[in-house]
């Protein structure tokens, strides 16, 4: 962990340098902009005054000579103002247009950021799904080295599977394929028998809940963050979801409770607290398929017990994929799959697997007793 600190530190310095550089560039750009506008505005104003003066001067001369009425001069001055006022307003507007188009660039770079996976031409919207899930001979690689080799998984609608195994085995990659953050190289992920590549992504993701190991919170209140996936939820619904997961206990720590404002990324909250909030978010969203990837890994024991109780409600009636290190969390699955080096090396119920001399038993032995499942009954 000393290494992590050093890495974090040197990264910070790099970011600081980059930030300083951008600040300096921004300052210089602002100085140039200010210089230009401090020339431009007065120049236009000066021109206006000179022109008015010239008209008045010429007017006085012609009136004196008796060739012009005073009304004509007044009208000419009025017309001049009509010309210069919009010119001035235009130059002010120009600044606003520049700022707006810079903002537009930023917005579109954000909007464009996440289209690694695009809808295929002719993709169909997916209606409400039952949640039958099928991974059919999936292979996948991020780079040159294959990460998954011929993965076969079938989950009936409403079923629950758990993926366990040492880190780097490919569990999260499977979760990402199910959520269609990536498409498989060969094979197919099917929901209710439909290949995910044939459906509109939005219509699928709307029915999907994903809780990741290090969840991201948006700037806004805790309640906003829970409501995120279901914007029309009532305060009562948000409160119920929070209470079911134990977020109300987290909120109690703050003066404004659920209305406590978190900053972007969720700083000021522990990783476990952010996980609790994102689990409440998933509960409120009421998805048809729920993926929990190490969703309770940073949660302290008392909160975890609370969540264990909420799991029944969280998982009821939906297809769920649980990835966990703690065997206590995976015991509720209908089937546990042990993943090693991109392959499923064992599958079965907890009792089946404990009865065999295999990967699962080895895995169970590496874990603390307090998280060992029914090998230690009466829990
Ligand atoms: N975004 C990525 N780019 C390249 N390689 C990755 C990426 N994510 C994971 N991997 C690699 O894929 C393998 C499986 O990782 P992962 O699915 O995260 O395993 P697990 O969740 O079981 O710990 C690992 O070798 C990991 O280094
Ligand atoms: Mg993982």
113, 145, 173: which is the final residue of a domain? 113
Q: Which residues of 309-330 are buried (b: 16+ CB within 10 A; e: fewer)?
A: ebbeebbeebbbbbbbbbbbbb
pLDDT of residue 116: 67
For residue 296, give the nearest of 315, 323, 320 by alpha carbon.
323
Would residue 118 count as lying in a domain?
no
Range(s) of the domain holding residue 187: 133-371
Identify which of 139, 141, 147, 342 to mutate to test ligand 1's pocket (most ligand atoms within 8 A of the CB).
147
Express as a percent the part of the chain with pLDDT over 90: 37
Specify the number of domains making up the chain. 2
C-alpha 207/C-alpha 192 separation (Å) is 13
Torsion angle of C-alpha atoms 132, 133, 137, 140, degrees rounded to 10: 160
pLDDT of residue 170: 95
- Average the pLDDT over 122-138 and give the result: 93
Question: Do 138 and 218 fall within a single domain?
Answer: yes
Identify which of 135, 142, 341 to mutate to test ligand 1's pocket (most ligand atoms within 8 A of the CB).
142
- Average the pLDDT over 210-236 and give the result: 86
Model confidence at 10, pLDDT cuts 50, 70, 90, reads low
- Average the pLDDT over 149-168 and give the result: 94
Question: Do 53 and 151 fall within a single domain?
Answer: no
Q: What is the DSSP string of 343-360?
A: EEEEEE-HHHHHHSSSHH
Question: Do 196 and 337 fall within a single domain?
Answer: yes
Helical ranges in the chain per DSSP H:
2-65, 70-113, 171-178, 201-205, 222-227, 235-245, 247-252, 271-285, 301-315, 327-330, 350-355, 359-365
Mean pLDDT of the chain: 85
pLDDT of residue 297: 76
Each residue's pLDDT tens digit, 357-376: 999 988 887 764 444 444 44
Would residue 198 count as lying in a domain?
yes
Residue pair 217/279 in contact (Cβ under 8 Å)? The answer is: no
Q: Using a 6 Å cutoff on CB, does residue 326 contact ligand 1?
A: no
Question: Do 96 and 201 fall within a single domain?
Answer: no
Contacts of 311 (CB under 8 A, 6+ apart): 329, 332
pLDDT of residue 364: 82
Identify which of 145, 165, 170 to mutate to test ligand 1's pocket (most ligand atoms within 8 A of the CB).
170
Domain containing residue 356: CATH number? 3.40.50.300
Ligand 1 midpoint to CA 169 (Å): 7
Would residue 127 count as lying in a domain?
no
The residue with greater pLDDT, 296 or 334, is: 334
DSSP strand pairing (335-340 vs 160-164): parallel
Residue nearest to atom 16 of ligand 1 (CA): 170
Question: Do 79 and 149 fall within a single domain?
Answer: no
pLDDT of residue 374: 42
Length of the chain: 379
Contacts of 372 (CB under 8 A, 6+ apart): 327, 328, 364
Would residue 122 count as lying in a domain?
no
C-alpha 248/C-alpha 257 separation (Å) is 7
Q: Using a 6 Å cutoff on CB, does residue 342 contact ligand 1?
A: no
Residue nearest to atom 9 of ligand 1 (CA): 173
pLDDT of residue 114: 54
Would residue 379 count as lying in a domain?
no
- Average the pLDDT over 30-36 and give the result: 88
Of ligand 1's listed atoms, the one at least distance from the Cα of 174 is: 17
pLDDT of residue 87: 80
Question: Do 108 and 148 fall within a single domain?
Answer: no
Each residue's pLDDT tens digit, 63-109: 998 888 889 889 988 888 888 888 878 877 877 888 888 888 888 87
Would residue 50 count as lying in a domain?
yes
pLDDT of residue 110: 72
Question: Do 32 and 173 fall within a single domain?
Answer: no
Ligand 2 midpoint to CA 215 (Å): 13
Q: Which of 47-51, 242-246, 312-316 has the lowest mean pLDDT?
A: 312-316
């Amino acid at each position: 962990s000393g290494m992590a600190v050093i890495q974090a530190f040197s990264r910070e310095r790099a970011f600081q340098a980059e930030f300083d550089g951008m600040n300096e560039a921004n300052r210089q750009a602002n100085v140039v902009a200010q210089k230009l506008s401090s020339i431009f505005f007065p120049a236009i104003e000066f021109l206006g005054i000179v022109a008015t003066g010239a008209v008045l001067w010429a007017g006085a001369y012609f009136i004196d000579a008796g060739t012009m009425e005073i009304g004509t001069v007044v009208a000419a001055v009025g017309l001049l103002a009509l010309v210069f006022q919009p010119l001035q307003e235009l130059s002010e507007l120009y600044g606003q247009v520049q700022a707006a188009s810079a903002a537009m660039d930023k917005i579109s770079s954000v909007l464009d950021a996440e289209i690694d996976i695009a809808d295929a031409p002719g993709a169909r919207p997916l209606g409400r799904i039952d949640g039958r899930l099928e991974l059919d001979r999936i292979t996948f690689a991020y780079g040159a080295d294959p990460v998954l080799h011929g993965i076969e998984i079938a989950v009936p609608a409403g079923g629950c599977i758990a993926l366990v195994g040492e880190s780097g085995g490919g569990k999260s990659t499977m979760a990402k394929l199910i959520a269609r953050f990536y498409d498989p190289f060969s094979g197919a992920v099917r929901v209710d028998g439909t290949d995910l590549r044939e459906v509109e992504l939005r219509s699928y993701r709307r029915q999907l809940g994903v809780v990741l190991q290090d969840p991201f919170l948006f700037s806004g209140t805790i309640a906003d963050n829970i409501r995120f996936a279901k914007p029309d939820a009532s305060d009562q619904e948000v409160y119920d979801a929070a209470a079911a997961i134990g977020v109300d206990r987290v909120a109690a720590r703050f003066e404004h409770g659920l209305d406590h404002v978190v900053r972007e990324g969720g700083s000021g909250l522990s990783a476990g607290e952010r996980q609790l909030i994102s689990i409440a978010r998933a509960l409120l969203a009421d998805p048809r398929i729920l993926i929990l990837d190490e969703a309770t890994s940073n949660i302290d024991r008392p909160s975890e017990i609370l969540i264990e109780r909420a799991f029944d409600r969280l998982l009821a009636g939906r297809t769920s994929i649980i990835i966990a290190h703690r065997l206590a969390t995976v015991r509720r699955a209908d089937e546990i799959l042990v993943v090693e080096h991109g392959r499923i090396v064992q599958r079965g119920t907890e009792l089946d697997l404990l009865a065999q001399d295999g990967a699962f038993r080895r895995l169970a032995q590496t874990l603390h007793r307090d998280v060992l499942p029914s090998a230690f009954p009466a829990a």
